[in-house]
Amino acid sequence: MENNYTNRYILETGIGLQDVDHLKNSSYFLRESERYLKGEISLDELDDIVDSYYKSKPAVGDRSEEADKISIRIAKIIGEDYFTFTVGQLLSIHRILFEGIS
């Protein structure tokens, strides 16, 4: 697992990019994210936890599910060693971020 500074940086980047689009993460996501930042769980485990949460919760229509899931996806992408910012990578990122999000 990466160091705490890197974990915080990549997760806060994902959260911040959602905020730019006026999307707010749920309090549940923010609470569970702290476990990731403390090194108690991995980013993949956080992803699974958030996914399970939304599968068991009735939709509320506030777009927090979108913000939560895309924040994790952004963190996963920029946390990879191979991350580069090119046009081809941007198209690939867009597909990854929004797959299954309506």
pTM of the model: 0.75
Give the pLDDT score at 102: 64
Summarize pLDDT for 77-96 with one digit per residue, the tens. 888 776 666 767 667 777 77
- Taking the C-alpha atoms of residue 65 and residue 56, their distance in angstroms, rounded to an integer, is 12
* Residues sharing a CB contact under 8 Å with residue 24, sequence separation 6 or more, in sequence order: 18, 62, 63, 64, 67
Which two tokens mark 94?
Answer: 């867009």
Q: Nearest-5° angle of CA 15, CA 18, CA 21? A: 155
Summarize pLDDT for 5-63 with one digit per residue, the tens. 888 988 998 898 888 888 999 999 999 999 999 999 999 999 999 999 999 987 777 89
